[in-house]
């Protein structure tokens, strides 16, 4: 007997436009379970950092968030789609292992953290926040917000998956930080809601997933990384490393972005989002380093290379995104894909 599909009222975005034969097959398979899935050879030949792999992964991960309009919610656990996702994930993770090493560029968490704790005085060449602080124009701030909306409109959701996989100090510390991310009990202060307010100040569409078609692969990959780590218990250490990297680098970069918003007259809600993160994430950094990482490694010291890998993988994908954005903006061109 087939169980009835549960009712759902969540607003679901439409499926994105495909970007090639691989993603076209995935779009078709999502809406029709009789459609064939991509062949293993197609996946093996695809660029692991390119549009086809990253969009396909994003679509399959989104089934675990809000799904897509016209896609049966029960497809979230379709074994054929999970098998496809596994193949794409393997292509992605093997590329990252090749580029940064199995345990990151270093196996010591203290070394990995040291690499991101050093705050450069000026880094216009490689840092989006430094560039926007000093040179950014309003249209560039709008593009940055549009691309970052793919994560920030579900901010902290991917990290919540790790909570039941932790215990003791690590669980308590992670829950404390997540509580703040989700508004500390106040719906209007949920960080995703604050980002929607930022987007409204910038005149952007606040609809969930609206800018997916405009996002280059380099903007999809960082979001996919946290979904990958969050959905697999085996990657719990890497997700903690990713979370640590985000919290440690957030406060100084948020300060620069708040200044950029103020300088360009973006509006009070736009400035507030980043101003809120300056203070909050400075506190979160200490909790994550001492309690989450410290507690995890006290319980499971063998996960240290995974934590380091999560830190390094985050930096690698953020650097790729920065290169793409800055290359376009310095030429006065849009970093968004034409839609």
Per-residue pLDDT band for 102 (boundaries 50, 70, 90) equals low
Give the pTM: 0.92
Per-residue pLDDT band for 278 (boundaries 50, 70, 90) equals confident
Task: Supply angle C-alpha 273, 278, 282, rounded to 5.
Answer: 140
The phi, psi pair for 102, rounded to 5°, reads -60, -40
Per-residue pLDDT band for 39 (boundaries 50, 70, 90) equals confident
> Among 253, 8, 22, which Cα is nearest to 128's?
253
Quick check: 62 pLDDT over 90?
yes
Cβ(82)–Cβ(74) below 8 Å: no
Per-residue pLDDT band for 59 (boundaries 50, 70, 90) equals very high
> Among 313, 298, 299, 331, which Cα is nearest to 227's?
313
| Res 5: pLDDT | 44
Please give the CATH topology (third level) of the domain spanning 109-330: Heme Oxygenase; Chain A (1.20.910)
Torsion of CA 194, 198, 204, 205, to 10 degrees: 10
Quick check: 80 pLDDT over 60?
yes
The first and second tokens of residue 27, run together, are: 């779009």
Least confident of 49-53, 65-69, 101-105, 252-256: 101-105
Quick check: 34 pLDDT over 90?
no
Quick check: 46 pLDDT over 60?
yes
Quick check: 334 pLDDT over 90?
yes
d(CA 68, CA 57): 14
| Res 3: pLDDT | 45
Residue of higher predicted confidence among 3 and 335: 335
Q: Mean pLDDT across the stretch 223-248?
A: 96
d(CA 42, CA 21): 9
| Res 9: pLDDT | 43
Q: Mean pLDDT across the stretch 33-45?
A: 86
> Other C-beta atoms within 10 Å of 320: how many?
18
Per-residue pLDDT band for 8 (boundaries 50, 70, 90) equals very low
Residue of higher predicted confidence among 6 and 207: 207
Quick check: 86 pLDDT over 50?
yes
Q: Mean pLDDT across the stretch 126-149?
A: 96
Cβ(15)–Cβ(70) below 8 Å: yes
| Res 111: pLDDT | 78
d(CA 116, CA 127): 13
Give the start-to-end residue ranges of the domains of the chain. Answer: 21-100, 109-330
| Res 117: pLDDT | 67
Q: Mean pLDDT across the stretch 175-200?
A: 95
| Res 107: pLDDT | 63
Q: Mean pLDDT across the stretch 269-290?
A: 87
Quick check: 178 pLDDT over 70?
yes
Compute the mean pLDDT over every residue in the chain, rounded to the nearest whole number.
91
Quick check: 315 pLDDT over 70?
yes
């Amino acid at each position: 007997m087939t169980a009835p599909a549960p009712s759902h009222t969540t607003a679901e975005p439409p499926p994105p436009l495909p970007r090639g034969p691989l993603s076209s097959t995935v779009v078709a398979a999502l809406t029709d379970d009789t459609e064939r899935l991509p062949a293993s050879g197609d996946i093996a030949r695809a660029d692991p950092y390119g549009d086809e792999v990253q969009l396909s992964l994003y679509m399959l991960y989104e089934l675990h968030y809000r799904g897509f309009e016209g896609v049966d919610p029960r497809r979230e656990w379709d074994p054929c789609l999970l098998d496809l996702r596994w193949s794409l994930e393997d292509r992605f993770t093997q590329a990252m292992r090749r580029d940064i090493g199995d345990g990151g560029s270093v196996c010591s968490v203290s070394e990995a953290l040291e690499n991101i704790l050093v705050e450069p005085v000026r880094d216009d060449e490689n840092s989006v926040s430094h560039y926007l602080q000093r040179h950014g124009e309003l249209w560039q701030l709008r593009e940055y917000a549009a691309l970052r909306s793919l994560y920030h409109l579900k901010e902290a959701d991917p990290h919540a998956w790790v909570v039941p996989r932790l215990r003791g100090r690590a669980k308590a510390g992670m829950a404390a930080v997540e509580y703040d991310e989700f508004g500390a009990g106040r719906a209007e202060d949920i960080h995703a809601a604050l980002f929607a307010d930022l987007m409204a100040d910038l005149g952007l569409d606040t609809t969930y997933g609206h800018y997916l078609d405009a996002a280059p692969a380099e903007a999809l990959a960082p979001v996919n990384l946290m979904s990958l780590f969050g959905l697999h218990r085996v990657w719990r250490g890497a997700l903690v490393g990713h979370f640590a990297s985000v919290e440690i680098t957030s406060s100084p970069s948020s300060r620069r972005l708040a200044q950029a918003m103020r300088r360009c007259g973006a509006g009070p809600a736009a400035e507030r989002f980043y101003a809120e993160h300056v203070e909050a994430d400075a506190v979160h950094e200490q909790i994550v380093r001492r309690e989450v990482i410290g507690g995890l490694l006290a319980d499971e010291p063998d996960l240290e290379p995974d934590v380091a890998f999560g830190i390094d993988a985050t930096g690698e994908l953020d650097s790729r995104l920065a290169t793409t954005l800055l290359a376009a903006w310095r030429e006065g061109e849009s970093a968004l894909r034409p839609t």
